Structure 1
């Protein structure tokens, strides 16, 4: 039986792409670069913000351009209302049910930690996460297991007692690198290849399908 549920954030608990694309396109327009569709941006997801910006900039990607563009993008994003960013259906319900069953809950994401905490306070304020490990510039990001390892150590559980729930290949890779089981959700930003990956326990269409891993 699993005792610790670690969740990815964007694409798993939260649908955030549309607000991000708007801010990216505002930054791209400022630099006179081609703008993105929702599908374009989803194809770039997986890494931390520097890696995503590098992909967005394509042949204009240099360390200097990444830093400059990132600042412009973050200014647009952080000043926006982010009204299109909302939890996926059942996100709060499944967290609440797991919490009521004394399952330890945590988040490991490549979104900045402070940004995750803002959305958690808005949408999941009654959920007691034991840890929120987002991207911090001085530490490795997913698929490096740095954040997962910190959470597992804090929870004081065995690797076989932890499970990672995400939506994409990056989540599969970080779970594999940490040596824990992984379940993938189909409603996020992954694809058929991710859903058929040999490493995952399964790809679920409904959040309630993960409850069986926490039953005696």
Structure 2
């Protein structure tokens, strides 16, 4: 049985895409660029902020627009109430149960660390995470295994005792690069191809299925 559960954030623990879509479209409108639908955004999210901006701007991703657009979006996002960003059903209950079983918990995401900490404090205030490792400009982002390796080192467990829980191809590749097992959730922002990836240990429909590995 595993001793350390490392969770992705967006699409795994939290349903966050609608606030991201709203704020990105507001930024696109400010610059006079065409907005995108929710479905169009789904395939563009998962990387770090610079990767997302490049995919959203497409042909307009130039030195003239990249940094100003990123700044505008972040200003809008951090100023937004983000009332649509909420934990997926049973996320809290699963974390609470794992914690009661003395399972070590961590988060590894390409979202900025301060943003992760904001939502964790708001919704998971009594959950004790070993480490919340988000996007920091001085460390590589997923699918680099740097975040997972840092978490495993701090947790003091072997890679065989750790498992990564995510929802997309980025998460699968991150786990593979780190050399740890991976579970993919079906309620997130991945696609059918991700669910069928040979590296995936299991693709689950119910968050409570996570408990089977601990």
Q: TM-score band (shorter)? A: over 0.9
Tell me how far 1:212 sits from its aligned partner: 1.4
Tell me how far 1:97 sits from its aligned partner: 0.3
Alignment partners' CA distance in 2, 1:48 and 1:178: 18
2:49 counterpart residue number: 49
Normalized against structure 1, the TM-score is what? 0.98
2:133 counterpart residue number: 133
**Is the counterpart of residue 188 in structure 1 residue 184 in structure 2?**
no
- Secondary structure of the residue aligned to 2:65 is helix
Query: After superposition, where does 1:118-197 map in structure 2 within 5 Å?
Result: 118-197=118-197
The 4+ residue runs of structure 1 with deviation greater than 6 A are none
Alignment partners' CA distance in 2, 1:203 and 1:101: 23
Alignment partners' CA distance in 2, 1:161 and 1:55: 36
2:205 counterpart residue number: 205
Tell me how far 1:208 sits from its aligned partner: 1.1
The superposition leaves residues 39-58 of structure 1 with CA deviations (integer Å, 9 ceiling, x where unpaired) of 11111012101000000000
1:30 counterpart residue number: 30
Alignment partners' CA distance in 2, 1:85 and 1:119: 8
- Secondary structure of the residue aligned to 1:165 is strand
Computed over aligned residues only, the root mean square deviation of the Cα atoms, in angstroms, reads 0.7
- Secondary structure of the residue aligned to 2:105 is strand
Tell me how far 1:64 sits from its aligned partner: 4.1
Alignment partners' CA distance in 2, 1:113 and 1:63: 26
Alignment partners' CA distance in 2, 1:63 and 1:130: 39
1:8 counterpart residue number: 8
Alignment partners' CA distance in 2, 1:90 and 1:210: 11
Alignment partners' CA distance in 1, 2:207 and 2:148: 21
Aligned length: 214
Unaligned runs of 5+ in 1: none
Alignment partners' CA distance in 1, 2:94 and 2:63: 41
The superposition leaves residues 145-182 of structure 1 with CA deviations (integer Å, 9 ceiling, x where unpaired) of 11000000001111110000000000000000000000
Alignment partners' CA distance in 2, 1:191 and 1:86: 21
